Amino acid sequence: MSIDTISPVKWEGDKLLVLNQLKLPTVVEYNPKKTVEEVFYAIKNMELRGAPLIGISAAYGVVLGVKNLSADADDQFVEVVDESAAYLAQSRPTAVNLFWALERMKRKAREIAHLPFAEKVHLMEEEAIAIHREDEQNNRKIGENFHEAGFVYDGARILTHCNAGVLATSKYGTATSPMYLAHEKGWKIKVYADETRPYMQGARLTTFELHQAGIDVTLICDDMAGMVMSQGKVDMIITGADRIAANGDTANKIGTMSLAVMAHHFGIPFYIAAPLSTIDLKTPSGKEIPIEERSPKEVVEWFGIRTAPEGIGVFNPAFDVTPHELITAIVTEKGVVQAPFEENIRKLFNN
C-alpha cells in the first residue's frame, strides 16, 4: 500500500467500505457498513478516525439513511436526513468536521426537497462524494501552501503527532501533505513521529503510511520529543487539528499542546495544517471546545494486558487545546494564517 493505494474509506454505492484502523499496522481489512448505525459505531469505536475522515464518513452515513428508505416514505425525506444527522452527531464530540459535514448534508436535503425521490437520493449521494473529493483537493493545496510559504524545504526535519495523514482524510492527509509533496519532488526530508499514547496513532498509523510511501520516518515515544528538540534534530513541528476556534486556539490529539510549549522554549516553529472545515467560527476560543474523554481502559491496558493496578483513578482526555499564542501559522487550502489569528481567520472566510 502507498499514498496512491491507501483509501481509508471506499464508497460502493450501497455501502461504505471502511479500512479497520484498529487492526493496523498488522492486518489490512475492509469492513462493509450498510446502515447509519454501522457508520455510527465505526466512528465511535474508532474503526475510522481523524477529523476530515469522520466528516466524510458521516456524510455517507446520511446517504445510507436515505438509501434505506422506501420511495413511498418520500414525505419523510428531510426528517430522516435530520434524524440520521442528529444520531451521527452523537458519535464523537471534538472534531468539528463531523458537524460541518452533517450540516452540509442537511442543507442539501432542504434545497432539493421538492424533487422526485430517486433524484433526491442521487443528489445526496453526489453531495457526499463531493465532500470526499473536495477533501482530497484541499489537502493537496495545504501541502502546496506549505511549500509556497517556504515552511517546508529540501532537508527539512519535521516532528509530527498523532495521525493527520492519508488515514485521517481522503488522501495526502493534512500535516503529512507537505511531506508527501516533498517526497514527490525528490526532496530528502526526515520525519519524527510521536507514538501518541494511549491510542498509538503515531506508531500504528503515521509510521505505517509514511514508511509505505518511502519517507524517512523515525518513531519516538511521546516523552522523547523534548530531548529530540533539545538536540537540535527538529526544524519544525506540524500537526493536524480537530477543531480550530475563531481566535486560532486549536484542539488536536492529547499531547499536542505540550509539544507547542516545548517548541516555544526551543524556538522551533509550530504549524497547524487543516482545511477550512476544521475551523469553527461559532466557537470563540479553545475554552468552549468540547473535549472527548475516553474509556480508562485505553490507559490502564496495553492491547488487553493490564499495565496498572486495579482501583486507581484514571483521566483520559483524547484532545488538548494549544493556545494560539504558541502557533506560528495555520496552513489551510485557502492560504496561511498568522497572528493576529482572529482577524486573519475571519478574512480567510470572507475572501
Catalytic residue numbers? 242
Q: Which amino acid is at 136?
A: E
CA distance 224 to 141: 31
Between 81 and 176, CB nearer to ligand MRU: 176
- Least separation in angstroms between CB 17 and ligand MRU: 19
- Least separation in angstroms between CB 298 and ligand MRU: 10
Looking at beta carbons, which residue is closest to ligand MRU?
240
Q: Where are the beta strands (DSSP E) in the chain?
A: 9-11, 16-19, 30-33, 157-160, 190-194, 216-220, 236-239, 243-245, 250-253, 270-273, 279-280, 301-302, 305-306, 319-322, 329-332, 335-337
Burial of 166: CB neighbours in 10 Å, binned 0-12, 13-18, 19+: buried
- Least separation in angstroms between CB 103 and ligand MRU: 18
**Whether 201 contacts 49, CB under 8 Å:** yes
Between 252 and 322, CB nearer to ligand MRU: 252
Between 239 and 247, CB nearer to ligand MRU: 239
Between 41 and 117, CB nearer to ligand MRU: 41
Helix (H, G, I), strand (E, B) or coil at 216: strand
- Least separation in angstroms between CB 38 and ligand MRU: 18
Give me the residues that bind ligand MRU (CB under 6 A), please: 49-52, 95, 162, 164, 168-169, 173-174, 201, 239-242, 252-253, 318
C-alpha distances in Å from residue 232, one per residue of 55, 155, 158, 226, 284: 37, 14, 11, 10, 36
